[in-house]
């Protein structure tokens, strides 16, 4: 039994699970409204959306890069999805399929340019952020699309049972698939190897171009799915979808134990970090904290996560030095 607990404590996700459980219990005691059906529904809906956004960034962090255009891709797909249904009266499935193609294409563009030029993904995705956002505004003329099918409204705002929203189904599937990818597949191991050391991965015969493009394609796909889920939740397509995704997309993976330099991510820990961020945000609202202070608090939380990340990087560097000396 002691050995089991000892192994659990070594997992990044276990500590976060304890935080989620005790945090939720304490807040529930202080504010019983926290566990009301309505609040739990709002909380799970928020978690559903940010879970996919976090996974979209996490897979890029795994290879030691950053994708600043996650929100812009999600926004472009969202507005395309809504626009196709309103302007061209397209069926939901066809509009969603085109949205997925747009997300994958945007991710491929990011990955291909990054892999072929060798320019930092930070710079490439900073540029494409404005490209995708510009296309978004060009399509919409900064106006929202309101004509959303009833089936979309039901899926985005309906409940499976009690406070559990339909919206959570896709994020749970995505999280499971990402866990399989990163822990059970050769591609997942290759991505982590590439993020840990590009030179070593190339000596192992791993194609850098393939890894970078694949990671960005998956990131674009997930960002696109998140964008379409926001359309379902809001029952409209608005040009500002995705604008606030950037910092939260980094916060969850980093709080979940990812190292920004690459080579280490944890899908389950990232998912729990999303839950923690959502609980904190929702709790501040319940305690009627001024919205400006909510932003300040979240900003400090992200700063704290980055400092922890730097500490992890420092530990990893020391381990490598010790290994070399031995």
pLDDT tens digits, 96-121: 999 999 999 999 999 999 999 999 99
pLDDT surpasses 80 at 323: no
Choice between 234 and 303, residue whose per-residue pLDDT is larger: 234
Contacts 24+ apart (CB under 8 A), 312-321: 312/257, 312/259, 312/264, 313/259, 313/260, 313/261, 316/259, 316/261, 316/263, 316/264
In this predicted model, what pLDDT tens digit does every residue of 39-69 receive, in sequence order?
999 999 999 999 999 999 999 999 999 999 9
In this predicted model, what pLDDT tens digit does every residue of 220-233 receive, in sequence order?
999 999 999 999 99
pLDDT at 24: 85
**C-alpha angle 33/39/43, rounded to 5°?**
135
pLDDT at 67: 97
pLDDT at 288: 82
Give me the chain's average pLDDT, please: 89
Cβ atoms 20, 276 nearer than 8 A = yes
pTM of the model: 0.91
How far is C-alpha 299 from the chain's CA centre? Answer: 17
Every domain of the chain and the residues it spans: 34-243
pLDDT surpasses 70 at 322: no
Q: Where are the alpha helices (DSSP H) in the chain?
A: 2-9, 12-30, 37-62, 70-87, 92-117, 121-140, 150-157, 169-184, 186-196, 198-203, 208-234, 246-255, 267-286, 291-325
**Residue 172: half-sphere exposure toward Cβ, Cα within 13 Å:** 8
Cβ atoms 237, 96 nearer than 8 A = no
Confidence category of residue 20, pLDDT binned at 50, 70, 90: confident
How many Å apart are CA 162 and CA 39, to the nearest integer? 12
Cβ atoms 122, 128 nearer than 8 A = no
- 137: tokens are 């505004």
Short-list 261, 10, 3, 238, CA closest to 139: 238
pLDDT surpasses 70 at 3: no
In this predicted model, what pLDDT tens digit does every residue of 252-280 receive, in sequence order?
898 888 888 788 899 999 999 899 889 88
% pLDDT > 70, the chain: 91
Asked which of 26-40, 150-164, 209-223 is least confident by mean pLDDT, the reply is 26-40
Choice between 14 and 144, residue whose per-residue pLDDT is larger: 144
In this predicted model, what pLDDT tens digit does every residue of 282-300 receive, in sequence order?
888 888 877 677 677 777 8
pLDDT at 298: 72
Q: How many residues does the chain have?
A: 326
How many Å apart are CA 305 and CA 280, to the nearest integer? 14
Average pLDDT for residues 18-29, to the nearest whole number? 85
């Amino acid at each position: 039994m002691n050995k089991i607990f000892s192994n659990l404590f070594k997992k990044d996700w276990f500590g976060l699970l304890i935080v989620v459980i005790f945090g939720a219990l304490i807040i529930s005691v202080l504010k019983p409204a926290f566990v009301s059906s309505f609040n739990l529904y709002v909380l799970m809906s928020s978690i559903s959306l940010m879970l996919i956004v976090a996974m979209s960034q996490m897979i890029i962090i795994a290879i030691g890069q950053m994708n600043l255009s996650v929100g812009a891709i999600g926004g472009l797909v969202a507005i395309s999805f809504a626009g196709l249904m309103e302007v061209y009266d397209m069926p939901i499935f066809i509009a969603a399929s085109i949205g997925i193609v747009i997300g994958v294409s945007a991710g491929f563009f990011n990955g291909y340019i990054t892999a072929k030029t060798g320019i930092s993904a930070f710079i490439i995705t900073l540029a494409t952020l404005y490209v995708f956002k510009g296309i978004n505004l060009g399509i919409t003329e900064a106006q929202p699309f309101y004509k959303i099918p009833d089936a979309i409204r039901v899926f985005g705002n309906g409940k499976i049972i009690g406070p559990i929203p339909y919206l959570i189904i896709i994020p749970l599937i995505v999280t499971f698939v990402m866990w399989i990818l990163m822990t059970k597949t050769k591609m997942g191991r290759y991505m982590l190897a590439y993020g840990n050391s590009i030179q070593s991965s190339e000596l192992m015969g791993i194609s850098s171009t393939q890894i970078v493009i694949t990671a960005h394609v998956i990131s674009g796909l997930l960002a696109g799915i998140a964008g379409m889920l926001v359309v379902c939740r809001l029952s409209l397509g608005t040009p500002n979808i995705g604008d606030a995704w950037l910092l939260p997309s980094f916060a969850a993976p980093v709080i979940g134990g990812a190292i920004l330099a690459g080579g280490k991510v944890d899908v389950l820990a990232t998912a729990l970090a999303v839950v923690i961020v959502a609980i904190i945000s929702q709790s501040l609202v319940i305690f009627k904290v001024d919205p400006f202070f909510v932003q300040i608090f979240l900003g400090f939380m992200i700063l704290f996560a980055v400092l922890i990340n730097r500490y992890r990087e420092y530990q990893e560097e020391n381990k490598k030095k010790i290994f070399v000396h031995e």
